[in-house]
Structure 1
């Protein structure tokens, strides 16, 4: 919509009279600046021009510059006097009254030759490689007289079409900020995916029935500080145990166990949940479980005084457990076993009774824990377990023949445990001459010699109740009898320990029978029969785990 083109610029045939507000300096038209007002006749070379601005009406009459690109609203008056052929152009900010002195005042002669009989009044604009926008907010025109004044309050506001020019700092910062934003989003996605993998669990539909017993891996991860070594309580044959603090501030012990059992995982979890229903003051409470990838996590009550073996074989400079504490521990474990064998809705065979699996609470009460090898079966039925598992020295000899753990095999392990607690010795000990001392044989020998209480832990320095010590040692030997049928049940054991029933008078030679003959009578195979019980138990002490069972 330009006024004229380069071919007809300045021609009288244009019949053009214009007032220009020019924001671009064009030297080919002799522009005075990039911010001027001019009067044009038939072309773009102004017949009169001045920088945009106005004159004050005060005594000084100072000139005030105005920027045409300031986005500041302005008012312009264009007046032509036909008698004098005088054309005046006056401008001022919108909030300033019309100045008395015009910005431009020019005589336009022969206006009749410039304006045809038919003329149009209006607005036009043009641009080149640069551009700016001008807005007409309102206008007034009149022939033969002054144009009506504008109602300033009714004028619209300037529209916002683009942001203010950016600073150099913004031009530098914006790309960097954009790149950082993209990087941050990518990092966030990576972290979320990594966290999802980190906390991924194995969960199947059938586990919904065990709901309250299932912990989330995320909760256990945070409770143990990411299974930090600082939280490690111990390492056993079946996994690592960590101390944790749940969001509820409850302290727990979390055991990580690798699982690869041939037994169905569904059956395995069902047993875990069933064991979780056990409630007894002398059992460590199994609170629940979590499955993740190749791991099973078992959650137990936390026992602040740790495992019994650390008190029996730990720092020799520490105060040894007193006889009173030991006797209470033995009775506590016996009470827990009685509950498992007789008093719960099913029979629970623990299969791994030993000092390291007995934990002590803050009052030093014993709690039998680690049910990772436990098996359940209904009262009045036979167990179907056929995998030999347990720890050498605590394993009943019949397990090598039948492979079936039973209440009687638990009683055998408890007998070894009683001797261990009373004597402060492990069931099988490697001595300095590379020989192996089998605890049950040693105690039996001292009984035959009439000095059974000489085997009591020397750290007690004789400070023990001799009658109670004799009871524990003889009962430990009775429970360690090689024939399952000769061992007492846990109810009888508790009656003996409580003093409700006296221990039968037993000859010190009751176990001095030919072990080979006893085992032949029981139908043991020739390989097993080639070893007496003491030799079989004397192999290097280690945990025999059911590798196929994976617990």
Structure 2
């Protein structure tokens, strides 16, 4: 009996251990899945994850991935003429009577073939009305339709296909497409021009983002090699009203097929999905039953309680809120005020996929607004700047920028669309700049061919025009204080729009400089800050001109002012000194961006380089004025005289106010080498800016 008892205890302990282990697996898997989203970012396991999927055809989980078609690489015969689907086990609500849900799906695919295989047919991300699959859906039907059902509206499917074999209706054997009830794509994009091969000779994982906006009704597909960041521009951008094609509650999953002799392995290694949670339909039967038995009294009590609680919550902040709000509305020329709920909807609840950038003052999101006038509704893309520092600092940041930008009107400034101070949220809404920031086009390898010489000249002329407006044509003199390539944004036609006025300040008409009191360091970015600012701590129109000069040299040379250049293999020098060296040697055109080859106008390049040096003059009073700058760029004036040797920096006396009208005779002359900004960098604490947030004022990107 003792032996039997001990054996029973051991068996019981083993069973309990197994159950606990299984429960842990189930709990781990359950943590991945919520009401309106799930994430399988660590791969797939049949034991832990299998219950979340419906497997159709020859699909299965294997080798840590969803194998949509058989994963037998060593048995080509078994792999041929196959189709399969793997669908998430429960549906998601995609539309209601008056709204549509947005969704974002991210997944990693690998379409593998051996060297002696010819790839075929394809893989598809699928939205379907149920978890079934049509018969005979192998070969060109991609597991989506068959010869009898293709093109039938009763299919109620929408798919993004990744096609590796050309049919008569396909552009080639390497494309993606938007399929609606058919394998004949409504919109397709060849991937050859984007450096992507769906089924290359060497196995490659690709990250894919499929984003649908229920407000604008746009489907966007992004794709890169795994590990690379999500691109700014989608490969496929197609309008589609899902409500017209899919069931209200539909299933998400993947389908794929192979043919003969064209075969491949169709694998999904990771998958996550988020679907906007639409309001549930309500059953009001109980209200009808309870209408005569005291429900009105209960509702009244609840309402009174809510009113009392809200009143208590708001009483402490209402006075401050009213004063702040009234101050904003009283500003002349203020644009439209928006409700927080509308901006929240426009940005998909500030979803991560809508983020354009982030800086010291806040985060910038892309949004899609429905703007209504008396007649029509217009869909407009915007960039939303959200201030996220602590309450007091955020209000200071918000007011500082809004009081500057709200009345500025110029075709080369980013336009303020509106603002929001609602539910304690501080938001500024700007026009979306689809081509992002200037620096991205100068230094991003994928964009190097977009900025030809004509566009560079047009961009510089636009910025010069905007700067002249700020310094002379506005009713107050505005100093931008953070002029640099990352704050110059490009619209759809590559017209320059100066943005990010977070550091900008307006000067009274009798003042020529602005001093930032109470801040440690000089606001701005190294390489663009004028040398006198490090001593005086004052921003002036002349210091803006210095920053513009740095931008001119940057655009013409294709080099960043903040990165030292190796000169003669052993010496680091600044961009300004590097260009001045070529000017001294009589060969200034050698500083032009080598990526332009000979596709530029030599005289224009020389004129711009000399203008950049003139604007970078160490003595502020010697720099040209903005009106002359614009005329020089457009060729209405000759280029300025620039001495062959860089002049010495003259250091203003301590305590002497600085302006463009004051004498510079009471100065101390110091070698420009000694007083270079690079050598002073260790003694200067640079203030952070939100330039990174505005890089895509696509999606101000705003």
Residue in 2 that maps onto 1:471: 607
Please report how far the alpha carbon of residue 216 of structure 1 lies from its aligned counterpart in structure 2 after TM superposition. 2.3
Residue in 1 that maps onto 2:125: none
The question of whether the paired residues in 1 share the 8 Å contact of 2:412 and 2:496 is answered with: yes
**1:216 maps to which of 336, 339, 362:** 339
1:421-500 matched pairs, under 5 angstroms: 421-429=555-563, 436-500=572-636
Please report how far the alpha carbon of residue 290 of structure 1 lies from its aligned counterpart in structure 2 after TM superposition. 2.8
Q: Deviations over 1:83-107 (max 9, x none)?
A: xxxxxxxxxxxxxxxxxxxxxxxxx
The question of whether the paired residues in 2 share the 8 Å contact of 1:357 and 1:368 is answered with: yes
Please report how far the alpha carbon of residue 542 of structure 1 lies from its aligned counterpart in structure 2 after TM superposition. 9.8
SS at the partner of 1:250?
strand
1:422 to 1:270, Cα distance in 2 relative to 1, 3 A: closer
Residue in 1 that maps onto 2:454: 324
The question of whether the paired residues in 1 share the 8 Å contact of 2:618 and 2:650 is answered with: no
**1:351 maps to which of 477, 481, 484:** 481
Greater fraction of residues in strand: 2
Taking the aligned partners of 2:676 and 2:555, their CA distance within structure 1 comes to: 21
Q: Which has the higher contact order (CA 8 A, sep 6+)?
A: 2
Residue in 1 that maps onto 2:496: 366
Once the two structures are overlaid, the 10-residue window that deviates more, 205-214 or 313-322, is: 205-214
Taking the aligned partners of 2:456 and 2:578, their CA distance within structure 1 comes to: 20
Taking the aligned partners of 1:428 and 1:437, their CA distance within structure 2 comes to: 10
Q: Deviations over 1:477-521 (max 9, x none)?
A: 111111111111111111211222222333211x243x4778998
The question of whether the paired residues in 2 share the 8 Å contact of 1:393 and 1:538 is answered with: no
1:204 to 1:267, Cα distance in 2 relative to 1, 3 A: farther
Taking the aligned partners of 2:684 and 2:496, their CA distance within structure 1 comes to: 24
Taking the aligned partners of 1:434 and 1:538, their CA distance within structure 2 comes to: 20
Taking the aligned partners of 2:666 and 2:482, their CA distance within structure 1 comes to: 25
Taking the aligned partners of 2:562 and 2:528, their CA distance within structure 1 comes to: 9
Structure whose CA Rg is larger = 1
Please report how far the alpha carbon of residue 329 of structure 1 lies from its aligned counterpart in structure 2 after TM superposition. 0.3
Q: Deviations over 1:271-297 (max 9, x none)?
A: 614421111110001233334688632
Residue in 1 that maps onto 2:510: 380
Residue 399, structure 1, aligned to residue 399, structure 2: no
Please report how far the alpha carbon of residue 264 of structure 1 lies from its aligned counterpart in structure 2 after TM superposition. 11
Taking the aligned partners of 2:599 and 2:617, their CA distance within structure 1 comes to: 29
Residue in 2 that maps onto 1:143: none
1:108-507 matched pairs, under 5 angstroms: 203-211=321-329, 213=335, 214-248=337-371, 249-259=379-389, 265=395, 269=399, 272-291=402-421, 296-316=426-446, 318-386=448-516, 387=519, 388-429=522-563, 436-507=572-643
The question of whether the paired residues in 2 share the 8 Å contact of 1:304 and 1:362 is answered with: yes
TM-score for both structures, normalised by structure 1 = 0.57
Please report how far the alpha carbon of residue 238 of structure 1 lies from its aligned counterpart in structure 2 after TM superposition. 3.4
The question of whether the paired residues in 2 share the 8 Å contact of 1:346 and 1:376 is answered with: yes
Once the two structures are overlaid, the 10-residue window that deviates more, 328-337 or 371-380, is: 371-380
Taking the aligned partners of 2:668 and 2:351, their CA distance within structure 1 comes to: 48
1:329 to 1:541, Cα distance in 2 relative to 1, 3 A: farther
User: Runs of 5+ in structure 1 lacking a partner?
Assistant: 1-172
1:295 to 1:439, Cα distance in 2 relative to 1, 3 A: farther
1:295 to 1:470, Cα distance in 2 relative to 1, 3 A: farther
1:492 to 1:262, Cα distance in 2 relative to 1, 3 A: farther
Q: Deviations over 1:192-249 (max 9, x none)?
A: 999xx9xx99833342353354332222211111111211122334332111111322
1:247 to 1:453, Cα distance in 2 relative to 1, 3 A: same
Taking the aligned partners of 1:296 and 1:221, their CA distance within structure 2 comes to: 12
1:436 to 1:239, Cα distance in 2 relative to 1, 3 A: farther
Q: Deviations over 1:428-486 (max 9, x none)?
A: 22568997541111111111111111111111112111111111111111111111111
Taking the aligned partners of 2:456 and 2:673, their CA distance within structure 1 comes to: 37
Taking the aligned partners of 1:410 and 1:344, their CA distance within structure 2 comes to: 16
SS at the partner of 1:470?
helix
The question of whether the paired residues in 1 share the 8 Å contact of 2:465 and 2:630 is answered with: yes
Taking the aligned partners of 2:401 and 2:450, their CA distance within structure 1 comes to: 37
The question of whether the paired residues in 2 share the 8 Å contact of 1:397 and 1:482 is answered with: yes
Taking the aligned partners of 1:369 and 1:541, their CA distance within structure 2 comes to: 25
Taking the aligned partners of 2:449 and 2:524, their CA distance within structure 1 comes to: 30
1:294 to 1:442, Cα distance in 2 relative to 1, 3 A: farther
Please report how far the alpha carbon of residue 536 of structure 1 lies from its aligned counterpart in structure 2 after TM superposition. 3.6
The question of whether the paired residues in 1 share the 8 Å contact of 2:653 and 2:666 is answered with: yes
Taking the aligned partners of 2:653 and 2:598, their CA distance within structure 1 comes to: 38
1:328 to 1:322, Cα distance in 2 relative to 1, 3 A: same
User: Runs of 5+ in structure 2 lacking a partner?
Assistant: 1-284, 372-378, 655-663, 695-702
